[in-house]
Amino acid sequence: MKTPLTGQFTPRRALMLATACLVLAAWGPTVTLPLARFHGIIVLDVTQSMNVEDYSADERPQSRLDAAKAALHEALQALPCGSRVGWGVFTEYRTLVLLAPLETCAHFRELGSTLDSIDGRLSWAGRSEIAKGIFWALRQADVMPHRPSIVFVTDGHEAPPINPRHRPHYDGKPGTIAGLIVGTGGLQPMPIPKFDPAGRRLGYWRADEVQQQDTYSMGRATSVGQEKLVETEEETGTADWATSGNEHMSALRERYLQVLAQELKLDYLRLDGGNAGARSLSRALGRSALAQRVPTKVSLGGPLAAIALALLAWTFRPAFRAARYRGTASPRSPGTAKP
């Protein structure tokens, strides 16, 4: 077939080709291609610091957990069909998988309603040992079918505080499970709301109600004076570990999470508020590191119809030259009355 450039491509041929394309498109052929689609378990930190309201939605304060859930709802919608999402929750020192990965388009309602029901009341214990929770999630992913990637949504607030020199150790091989740590929260320390088991609010945690020091620095019950369980020098500035004396306040421990991400070969993303945050989260989830190639049916109807549309538009393209010619023959100027 000749291209339009050679002049042999007549409108008649274009129309016949367009007809063929449209007939094919109407018939709806599909091809199955191995496309990269997100396949992972998204773990939400449901510990108390996630109730800190340092996001806002509709000009009202929004908790970290609610902000993360809103962004995840958006992401769920934005992920292309064929993506598989599972949900998990983190408290204490472990991750619990609630729902194994499910295809997002066919199970949008189910995935959405399970996400809705994730809240702070699921938390079964008061501790929040985040590093261990991430390790746990990675280890679980390693034994699950298809080895899903792990997305861990947290603010990095370890409770009780950890000692930078005596941090939990990951016994797996970093990098075997791909993952993303999503840091939530603001950088300004904020008071942590306190709730009773029924979810009623009881004010905020006070300084004397939480463990301010890591266990290693506290010493034993029998320790004398300032004697510590282990000798540590004061680490300053390398990462935002514990904020001695300020553990009842919570901010996003971003540098800590970045250190963890680096050590475990995971990606890191800070969750911004509002739509921008939701969009960047969707983009991050779409990245190929978290994806697996799955045979995905791709419809050829769209591309075929697009070709047909281009052919039709070419066939019926406006005659610019003729218009210009007409323009000089009967000049239209303002004020010229038309009959």
Partner 1 sequence: MTDFEFSAPWLLVLLPLALLPWWSRRRDLPRHAWVALLPKDRLSDAIGLGLKLLATIALAATVIGLAGPYRGPTTVTRVGEGAEIAILFDRSRSMDLPFTNNSSIGNRAETSGDSKGRVARELLLRFTAARPFDEFAMFIFSARPMRALDFTSSPEAIRAAITANDVGRGLGETDIGTALEAGVAAFESRPYLGARVILLVSDGGARLDPDVRHRLTDGLQRVRARVYWLYIRSVGSATIRDSAGLELSEAIPEVALHRFLESTGVPYRAFEAEDPKELGRAIEDIDRLEKHTIVTTAVAPRRELAGWWFAIAAGCVGLLALARVRQRESWGTA
Contacting positions for partner 1 (CB under 8 A): 10-12, 15-16, 18-19, 22-23, 25-28, 86, 89, 94-103, 106-107, 109-110, 113-114, 117, 121-125, 136, 140, 143-144, 301-302, 305-306, 308-309, 312-313, 315-319, 322
Minimum distance of partner 1 from residue 103's CB (angstroms): 7
Minimum distance of partner 1 from residue 167's CB (angstroms): 22
**Nearer of residues 97 and 298 to partner 1, judged by Cβ:** 97
Closest CA to 315 of 13, 5, 2, 3: 13
CB-based contact 85:74 (threshold 8 Å): no
**Nearer of residues 18 and 242 to partner 1, judged by Cβ:** 18
CA distance 62 to 47: 16
Minimum distance of partner 1 from residue 254's CB (angstroms): 28
CB-based contact 307:21 (threshold 8 Å): yes
The DSSP call for residue 326 is: H
**Nearer of residues 222 and 328 to partner 1, judged by Cβ:** 328
Q: Give phi and psi for 33, each to the nearest 5.
A: -120, 145
50: amino acid identity, one letter = M
Minimum distance of partner 1 from residue 228's CB (angstroms): 30
**Nearer of residues 138 and 269 to partner 1, judged by Cβ:** 138
Distance of CA 177 to the CA centre of its chain: 17
Q: Give phi and psi for 178, each to the nearest 5.
A: -75, 150
**Residue 99 corresponds to which tokens in the numbers above?**
């729902």
77: amino acid identity, one letter = Q
**Nearer of residues 80 and 174 to partner 1, judged by Cβ:** 80
